[in-house]
Structure 1
Amino acid sequence: MELNATINQYNAIRSSEDEKICNQLAKLINTELHEAESKIWHAHPVWFIEGNPIVGYSKQKPGIRLMFWSGADFEEKGLNVKGEKFKDASVFYNDLSEINPAELIIWLKKARDIQWDYKNIVKRKGLLERLR
């Protein structure tokens, strides 16, 4: 599946190293989650399955943050930045060499299999329900 043009634009305006990181993340995510819809959402790239946000990345002070919306339940030590209110977990990258493609593919498979319903969180007044 071809990468969303707006995600290519997002990646292209990063610094050289950040662009490489973003391009690699987008390529791996797009390949593994081929059924997912991708778009710029809240100003950064996000992939959705059936309207539910699954994974995305953004530029932050500590580096490029790769975030899995349901990542806290993956039980992966590499996803070491945990959200305080929801089920998200993240990792930061500052160099392309820090990305372990095999590890990321495992996380992406878990992202497909372990999902909390963020799509309907407003309707449920902030309560999350497990989908899978």
Structure 2
Amino acid sequence: MTDKSVMDIAGNIAMPGFTAPKVLWIKRNENENFNKIYKVLLPKDYLRFYLTGEFFSDLSDASGTYWLDVGKRDWSTKLLEASSMNISQMPNVCEGTDQTGIIKKDIADKYGFNMNARFTVAQEITQLLRRVRII
């Protein structure tokens, strides 16, 4: 792939802070850890997974991984393959306002959350966690 074709897909130039270059570093320097990757989640997406058991990311944050095809608004298999990754290792992507799960019963019981609480993909989960002193 040429630099231009990558930029046409990702809509950005590659920056060291994006997720793809970091994962490539792990592949080159800690291959044993790279081979253990099950899902790639951004911090807020991991918190959502902890609370709901669901794997989601919003399109805005996903564009900062350098694996998103911004035109198709979905993961790019070409960009993932260039990093030796595949689509099964990525969370579902959706709009920031989409509902992405409810709190798991064990989490609701443990922290006193309302079981009817719903999450949107871009919700500020850290504010919720600070209230119960998880973080």
Specify if TM > 0.5.
Answer: no
TM-score of the superposition, structure 1-length normalised? 0.24
TM-score of the superposition, structure 2-length normalised? 0.24
Q: Judging by fraction of residues, say which structure has more strand.
A: 1
